[in-house]
Amino acid sequence: MRIVLVHPTGSNWIPGKKDITAVANRMVPLGLLSIAAYLEREGHTAYVHDCLGPKAVSGNAAHVQSVLSLDPDLVGFSATTSGFLDACDLAARIKAGDPRIEVVFGGVHVSGMGDVLLERFRQIDYLCMGEGEATLAELASGRNVSEIAGLAWRDNGRVVTNPPRTHIPDMDTLPFPAYEKLDGFPEGYNLPLFSYIHTPGATMITSRGCPYQCSYCDRSVFKRGYRFNSAEYIYDHIKYLRNRFHVRHINIYDDLFTADRPRIRKLCELLISQPPGVQFNCAVRVGHADEALLEMLKQAGALQVSVGVESGDPDLLAVHKPGVYIGAVRDTVDRIKKSGLRVKGLFMMGLPGETVESIKKTGDFVMSLELDDMNMTKFTPFPGAPVWKTIREEGTLDEDWRKMNCLNFVFLPKAVDSIETLDQLYNLHVKRFYSDPKWRKRFRGRLWEHRKSLWCLIRSLPTFLSAMRTFEPKKE
């Protein structure tokens, strides 16, 4: 069967503002690439059409023509909440262009919302809930839909949801993602600016699932179990990216990359004894980053380590990120800096229970850590997250899926008077961090080291200047 897997453009910025996401950080659609590789191994012909790709056409009409030109039997969409409606528009246009084509949707929004989507959106034939590789392969093979685990479908207009699919137990049985399916990879898929030294860059995920229960995290696809690739598989994957695509830096996007100590020890031993010539960034969990681990990561080629903090208010942490404490955050950050690694803090503003005072606590805490970089997400409740069940009891929700991308405030906590106040506090916070003299001194000291990022910034300077004005506090 001929299958086209589509990554829709979606809504990736702030309404009315200049979208710089493709310039600042163009992400590889790893989930689709994994499914494409699996389908090809099963004997099917798979294509990946990335609407956000560096060589992609502009506008949904053009995207549809590109998809139709591949003469697919089946078109699959992987959609986030903010990208779902855009994917639905593409699906409807594809159906109008060739009614024989079947359409399947998967991804976090589908797994979080469930079969209600089939009732509301007639252009969708099937929903793939949970992991997509085996489900899509069975659908493409022509297996009776009633026998395909993890699939939702229609039987004479009646929505049927099959039993859930068992997770792939051994992730080493999966082929490497089909990066070669992306037009313009790797040069056109740039990592976040100033997060790397060498180019080109690539991304990788080496585990699925998470045993923790943070309130805001959507675990509807991989659930709470924790599975991972072996150290040998990861090392071979890194070598593959280096040898096939000349990749020099990899961002590893696992939430719990270092959770299994024997795996990381073995991987670091391989990277140290047989260095592939690749640097990488990864994340560590607060309280689980001792000196020996950090030293191993540094010797193995790590450049920057991210730490999920979310808030500087202990009461909010107790509710939304249990097991993480202010003192442990400070200790973890100090250990990372002493090891010679760079440290990036990940935070969130606008959580249920947030107040103006708690936002101030977080801002002060961020500044006290003297981080190398910081990311502040605008809290967005997703249907698959634990907080979704009670979100309307905690404040006011604007359930506009197009704005639910962590770049817009769609939830207003009870103790904050308006979205405008949240936006103003957010802008003040971002400006305060990047205006800090200590941070600017550290940044200037590394500017030549990051000359490739600097050149990218200069080439797109008008776009970045426009984006910077987004974070200017509104004048009274």
Tens of pLDDT along 155-167? 999 999 999 999 9
Pick the CATH number of 191-471 from 3.80.30.20, 3.30.200.20, 3.10.310.40, 2.60.40.1220: 3.80.30.20
Q: Which burial class, exposed, middle or buried, applies to 327 when counting CB atoms under 10 A from its CB (0-12, 13-18, 19+)? A: exposed
138 backbone dihedrals φ, ψ, rounded to 5°: -70, -40
H helices present in 373-446, as ranges: 391-394, 419-435, 437-445
What is the pLDDT, as a whole number, of residue 12?
67
Q: Is 19 a residue whose pLDDT tops 70?
A: no
Q: CB 464: neighbour CB atoms within 10 A?
A: 17
SS3 247: coil
SS3 374: strand
Higher local confidence (pLDDT), 247 or 471: 247
Per domain, the residue ranges of the chain are 2-161, 191-471
Could you tell me the pLDDT band of residue 255, with boundaries at 50, 70 and 90?
confident
- Work out the average pLDDT over 290-314: 97
Architecture of the CATH domain 2-161: 3-Layer(aba) Sandwich (3.40)
What is the pLDDT, as a whole number, of residue 470?
61
Report yes or no on whether pTM surpasses 0.75: yes
